[in-house]
């Protein structure tokens, strides 16, 4: 049976989110990562979790460094930073 090409990203997304939750569970925190509460797109939240970002780490990172680390535009990094600041 040929696997649908749309299934791979969904499986990857599941693996990334599940892995992040498992790591936090092992560290003693059973709640979801705080970046999921940001007012940004789900794909950005997943990217932040994959790269190990938390709200505190976002707030302690300069916006230009955030943009460079995540390989995104400065404006998008600013939106992420401001969303974390409002939480």
pLDDT in tens, 69-84: 999 999 999 999 999 9
Q: pTM higher than 0.85 for the full model?
A: no
Q: Is the torsion defined by CA of 14, 17, 21, 24 positive or negative?
A: positive
Q: Would you call 52 helix, strand, or coil by DSSP?
A: coil
**pLDDT: which is higher, 1 or 60:** 60
**How would DSSP label each residue in 9-43?**
HHHHHHHHHHHHHHHHHHTT--SPPGGGGSSS-HH
Cα distance between residue 71 and residue 74, in whole Å: 9
How many domains does the chain fold into?
1
**pLDDT: which is higher, 24 or 60:** 60
Show the domain range for 44: 7-86
Whether 2 is covered by a domain: the verdict is no
Whether 48 is covered by a domain: the verdict is yes
Task: Report whether 84 contacts 76 (CB < 8 A).
Answer: no
């Amino acid at each position: 049976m040929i696997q649908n090409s749309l299934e791979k990203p969904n499986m990857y997304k599941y693996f990334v989110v599940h892995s992040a939750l498992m790591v936090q569970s092992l560290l003693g925190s059973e709640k979801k990562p705080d970046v999921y509460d940001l007012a940004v797109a789900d794909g950005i939240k997943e990217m932040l979790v994959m790269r190990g970002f938390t709200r505190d780490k976002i707030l302690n990172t300069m916006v230009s460094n955030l943009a460079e680390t995540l390989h995104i535009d400065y404006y998008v990094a600013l939106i992420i930073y401001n969303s974390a600041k409002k939480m």
